[in-house]
Amino acid sequence: MARTHGHGNPKWTRDETILALDLYFDLNGKIPSGSDDRVKALSEVLRRFPHHAEASRKESFRNPVGVAFKLQNLRQVATGKGLGNVSETDRAVWLEFGVSAAATKSLANLIRAGVTAFEASEPVQEDVVFAEGRVITELHTRREREPKLRGQLLSSRRVSGNLFCEMCGAPPHTSNAMLQEAHFEAHHIIPLSNTGVRKTRLSDLALLCANCHRLLHRAIAIKKRWLTVAEGKVICGV
């Protein structure tokens, strides 16, 4: 049996496995060899992942043969046929997404968008990871920190009245008008996994103080599901 020579490489992450499952669905369960162009294309994407910079220097890391083996693993989970060396991540991803190729495709497209975004600038280092996975968590945070979008949100809130945190209700901690906006951050009230890769709308956002924003992100990570601002207010006790 062919070997991937991948011993010592990092384990496949949830994000990577979702991309592999997306390809598995595209292939209708027919697993090609590592020479297939679609397998090679996925290998190239996986080698660009921002969290595996050191490992990706190795030729064995997520090479096409290894990707083909992963597809075999997923077929074994899906049908009971194929290679038996499946992981807990393989089983968990299939349990969550195996019933919907469309949901898998939507999330896979977001992950690819996240990988591309990281190549344009340094990754955002967050101490929480949402249930959607690390890449989408960082893409979420990057979009929330986009200066133009945050500026539009602040302007829209000023038109309707004074600025305040939509979670705790607190106004800025300073009377200096030039500093008040620094108190606030934009928060996506809808997870990216629901909105897809479309442009963010102001109606997708809430204005939160930095403290409540951090608390809400932490609560979302702990609960492993998306929380509304109202739910966050109750859970965080603010």
Instruction: Tell me the pLDDT tens digit for each residue of 36-51.
Output: 999 999 999 998 887 6
219-237 pLDDT, tens digit each:
988 988 889 999 999 998 8
55-92 pLDDT, tens digit each:
556 778 889 999 999 999 999 999 988 766 889 999 99
More confident residue, 19 or 195: 19
pLDDT, residue 167, reads 95
pLDDT, residue 49, reads 82
pLDDT, residue 55, reads 53
Contact between residue 189 and residue 206 where contact means Cβ atoms under 8 Å apart: yes
Maximum separation of any 2 CA atoms in the chain, in Å: 71
Instruction: Give me the residue label for tokens 């309707």.
Output: 160
Share of the chain above pLDDT 70, in %: 87
Residue ranges of domains in the chain? 14-120, 134-236
Token pair, residue 222, equals 């702990």
Distance CA 18, CA 217 (A): 23
110-152 pLDDT, tens digit each:
888 888 776 555 555 566 777 777 777 877 887 888 888 889 9
Distance CA 123, CA 18 (A): 20
159-174 pLDDT, tens digit each:
888 899 999 999 988 8
